């Protein structure tokens, strides 16, 4: 395989805390290994528009503690067309970029897989998403921070829920995945979580109310994953008002605050290890894989597996939540 001299790095799709720690790790690790680094701004859109600068170790100084991404992020429809990807490839050729590290979620890695195959070009992906919905890794960069943010918010809402003896539906992110809702509920001692993985199988709301989830309590907190499948917190509150009048029900939608904030130690360490591993993977002639973590070991996950949209939820967690909410 052709020798790699210059690596491009970009962040794409939804931002996640820890992306900066990953940018720092990729940059420094590449320089340590004698490679040149090019920072590509605004994801695939910036790649097509040639928003590219040389990156040195100073470009990534003082960013490990920052949320968001210093490279900015964007969504780009043009990259979904062969013509758009050809433009992106031409720009990379002009900059002599001979490998790419893409930090992003499911969509970004889908784009990376297509791009890599089309041009037979080496790309390494890093899982950057708060949703934790990429297969083949125990955790994604940003997930732990978002989980901690949710826990802090639910702790605060509990104070008012208890004082007024209310039922609260708190909506958290996770369109296709209930990791944030389920683990957030366990961490914050909530009564239940309503998640997309289960919504097609049972009516979780009916089950919850029929099981008498309020029998020993006057207030309750239920975490709901934002998803057309769960009905979202608003949809569930509406149902309670119509089907189970008598509950004093309120809704809180946590929204974008879940994406922000300084990354936790866990996310910084994860991003640092994964960033360094991305460069090791390239030096090791690995191609078109996402870096994952399994049982605390770095693993290489082929793009096709990482994005297969079937990361299973651990059913033991549902049981734990049920048991502890009596
Ligand atoms: P995330 O990476 O957070 O899941 P998106 O789903 O918005 O975010 O994807 C980010 C970008 O990845 C899109 O704007 C697009 O440029 C690129 N992308 C997503 N899906 C594809 C695809 N099927 N083909 C090519 N590019 C894609």
Taking the CB of residue 199, how many other CB atoms lie within 10 A of it? 19
Do 121 and 155 belong to one domain? Answer: no
Do 65 and 190 belong to one domain? Answer: no
Please tell me which residue in 131, 133, 144, 267 is annotated as part of the active site: 131
Structural domain contains residue 157: yes
Number of domains the chain is built from: 2
Structural domain contains residue 315: no
Do 136 and 267 belong to one domain? Answer: yes
Structural domain contains residue 182: yes
For residue 123, the domain's CATH number is: 3.40.50.450
pLDDT digits (tens, 9 = 90+) for 58-98: 999 999 999 999 999 999 999 999 999 999 999 999 999 99
How many angstroms is it from 12 CA to the middle of ligand 1?
8
For residue 201, the domain's CATH number is: 3.40.50.460
For the Cβ of 73 lying below 6 angstroms from any atom of ligand 1, the answer is no
- Which residue, by CA, sits nearest to atom 8 of ligand 1? 13
Using an 8 Å Cβ cutoff, are 47 and 171 in contact?
Answer: no
Q: How far apart are CA 129 and CA 134, in angstroms?
A: 8
Structural domain contains residue 319: no
How many angstroms is it from 65 CA to the middle of ligand 1?
26
How many angstroms is it from 273 CA to the middle of ligand 1?
24
Is-catalytic flag, 296? no
Give the domain range for residue 249.
Answer: 144-259
Do 245 and 274 belong to one domain? Answer: no
Do 11 and 131 belong to one domain? Answer: yes
Average pLDDT over residues 21-26: 98
pLDDT digits (tens, 9 = 90+) for 187-238: 999 989 999 988 777 788 888 877 765 555 667 899 999 988 888 999 999 9
Structural domain contains residue 318: no
pLDDT of residue 217: 64
Do 87 and 128 belong to one domain? Answer: yes
Ligand 1 closest atom vs CA 74? 14
Q: How far apart are CA 288 and CA 278, in angstroms?
A: 11
Helix, strand, coil: what percent of the chain each, to 5?
45, 20, 35
Do 278 and 240 belong to one domain? Answer: no
Do 48 and 129 belong to one domain? Answer: yes
Ligand 1 closest atom vs CA 105? 2
Do 253 and 270 belong to one domain? Answer: no
Do 17 and 64 belong to one domain? Answer: yes
- Among 69, 82, 108, 143, which residue has the most ligand 1 atoms within 8 Å of its CB, making it the best to mutate? 108
For the Cβ of 175 lying below 6 angstroms from any atom of ligand 1, the answer is no
pLDDT of residue 218: 67
Do 176 and 278 belong to one domain? Answer: no
Do 149 and 214 belong to one domain? Answer: yes
């Amino acid at each position: 395989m052709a020798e790699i001299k210059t690596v491009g790095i970009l962040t794409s799709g939804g931002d996640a805390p820890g992306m900066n720690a990953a940018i720092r790790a990729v940059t420094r690790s590449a320089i340590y290994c004698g490679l040149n680094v090019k920072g590509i701004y605004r994801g695939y859109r910036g790649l097509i528009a040639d928003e590219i600068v040389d990156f040195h170790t100073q470009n990534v100084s003082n960013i490990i503690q920052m949320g968001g991404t210093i490279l900015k992020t964007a969504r780009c429809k043009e990259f979904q067309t062969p013509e758009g990807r050809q433009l992106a490839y031409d720009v990379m050729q002009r900059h002599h970029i001979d490998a790419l590290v893409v930090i992003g979620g499911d969509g970004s890695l889908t784009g990376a897989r297509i791009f890599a195959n089309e041009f037979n070009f080496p790309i390494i992906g890093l899982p950057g998403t708060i949703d934790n919905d990429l297969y083949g890794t125990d955790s994604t960069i940003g997930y732990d921070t978002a989980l901690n943010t949710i826990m802090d918010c639910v702790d605060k809402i509990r104070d008012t829920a208890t004082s007024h003896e209310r039922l609260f539906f708190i909506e958290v992110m996770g369109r296709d995945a209930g990791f944030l809702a389920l683990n957030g509920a366990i961490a914050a001692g909530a009564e239940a979580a309503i998640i997309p993985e289960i919504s097609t199988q049972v009516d979780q709301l009916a089950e919850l109310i029929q099981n008498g989830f309020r029998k020993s309590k006057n207030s309750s907190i239920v975490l709901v994953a934002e998803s057309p499948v769960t009905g979202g917190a608003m949809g569930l509150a509406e149902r309670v008002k119509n089907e189970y009048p008598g509950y004093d029900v309120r809704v809180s939608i946590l929204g974008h605050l879940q994406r922000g904030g300084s990354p936790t130690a866990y996310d910084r360490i994860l991003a640092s290890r994964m960033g360094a591993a991305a460069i090791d993977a390239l030096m090791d002639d690995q191609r078109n894989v996402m870096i994952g973590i399994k049982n605390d070991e770095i693993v290489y996950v082929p793009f096709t597996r990482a994005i297969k949209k079937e990361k299973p939820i651990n059913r033991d967690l549902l049981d734990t939540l049920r048991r502890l909410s009596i």
